[in-house]
Structure formats: C-alpha cells, structure tokens
Amino acid sequence: MHRLYVVVTFSYASGPLGLNCPLDWDTRMKIALDAAKGLAYLHEDSQPSVIHRDFKASNILLENNFNAKVADFGLAKQAPEGRGNHLSTRVMGTFGYVAPEYAMTGHLLVKSDVYSYGVVLLELLTGRKPVDMSQPSGQENLVTWTRPVLRDKDRLDELVDSRLEGKYPKEDFARVCTIAAACVAPEASQRPTMGEVVQSLKMVQRVVEYQEPVLNASNKARPNRRQSSATMESEVSSSMFSSGPYSGLSAFDHENITRTNVFSEDLHEGR
C-alpha cells in the first residue's frame, strides 16, 4: 500500500515502484474514480452516512496495481439526516482543502467533502499544490486561480501541467475540468453529489475505452460504443450541471480546445 501526495510529484510511503516512474492519464483517472467511489460509499451507502472531513491527496492510499483507497478517518463525523442539513463543529481539516462554508461558519456538510475532492481533482489536472506561495501573484491558491479559467473553454490550456508532454485526451481533460469546477463551486448547493461525480467520471473513461471500432467474425466493423457512451455522458452531465454557475460547462465545444502538455509525476520514496 502506498500513500499518494499530489503536488508536482507523487510520493509513496513504500513499495517497489521506485523513482521517476510517471503516471499516465489513464492511471490518474483510475485514481480519481476510485477515490470518488470511496467518498460516494461514505456519503450514500454507509449506514450511517459519514463525512470524511479531511479528504486530501495524502489520504488516498494506492495499492501496487494503483487501486486507490480513501484512508485516515480520524476526523470523520456521522452525517446528519437530510442532504441539506449540517453539523456545527470546530473547524478541522487541512488548509487548502477545507470548503468555504465550513471554514467560515463551522457548518459541516456532506458537500464539504465534495469540495475537498474537487481540490484533489484540480491537483491531478494541474500538478499544483492547493496552496503554493512560490507561484506568481494571484495563483497561490489553486481554487482561486483555476475557478475563472475553468469557466472559459478557450483558457483551459493554462491549467495543464507541461510535463505530460501532450499525452492526454484533450476532450477528456475538458470533461474532467467540468467535473472539478462543479465540485469546487462556492455554494454547497451547487456542487454535485459524489455519486454524480462517480457516474460522470465513468462516462469519461468509457468514451476512451470504446473509441476504436471492433471487427466481428465477418471482418465487418461493428459500430463502436463511443456515440452511445457520449449520449449517456450527456445525460449525466445535463443532470449534474443543469443549474448554477457552471451550468454552461457541459456544452463545451471540445474540438476547439487545443492539445497542450499536461501532467507528469515522479514517484519518490515516501515519508
């Protein structure tokens, strides 16, 4: 089991992965989906429901096959009944990941975890820390810097980490930006549930999985499932982003988004 640190590098607590081993786009999306499933289970399937309260990159544990597990429940709280209800509690968590409503009022919501997840997703997309005072003025806080950029499809190339050397699907990058933008919406009511995040990430990965046509026994190309997957993705997105400040994001013209360099990570022996 390895612990994930998303900064400019990924670090591991131990294990055979060694140094300078890059994670590709598909692996990072696998980690994102597995972590989302973990939070969705806590919020929607666990009895009683649980708010993690300290979800962050270093609380994602990786197995050797990159299966990701949500860890460290030392600050977890039982969620109140009713989706909109909150707990009033002393503010805990990690600076840069704490949702604004919780930081300012002490009101802890299930959707506060969704915000924290969105920060991790932004780390995966940009390769930056949640707070990094070495960045240029105005870019020190990851959410503050990315939020206006995420709403402008013509500026998405500003977000990508140059070290992936262009090895990522530009359409999927835009789709994941859409998901991240919704997760870090300032108002908790505008954020999706983690179940909706899981379904949207599944749709992104299915689009990749079924891009190529498949030949049957008679060597005739069967229609691939890209179109049907895209249709399902559209249905999920239309539900997930039908209102609020990020409602227009599901209508991105992905073909006009320029391919740029994005994300590369090194694996180092962890602390």
Alpha-carbon distance of 210 to 214, in angstroms, equals: 9
- What's the alpha-carbon Rg for the chain, to the nearest Å? 18
Distances (CA, A) of 106 to 36, 184, 229: 24, 18, 40
Instruction: Assess contact for 267 and 6: CB atoms under 8 A.
Output: no
Strands 60-62 and 68-70: antiparallel
In three-state secondary structure terms, 251 is helix
Using a 10 angstrom Cβ sphere, with 0-12 exposed, 13-18 middle and 19 or more buried, the burial of residue 183 is buried
Report the 10 Å Cβ neighbour count for 191: 27
Active site residue 266: no
Q: Cα separation of 239 and 186, whole Å?
A: 19
Helices then strands, each counted (H, E), the chain: 7, 11
Instruction: Compute the Cα dihedral for 21, 26, 32, 33 and give only its sign.
Output: negative
Q: Hey, how many other C-beta atoms are within 10 angstroms of the C-beta on 249?
A: 23
Catalytic residue among 34, 54, 161, 172: 54
Active site residues: 54
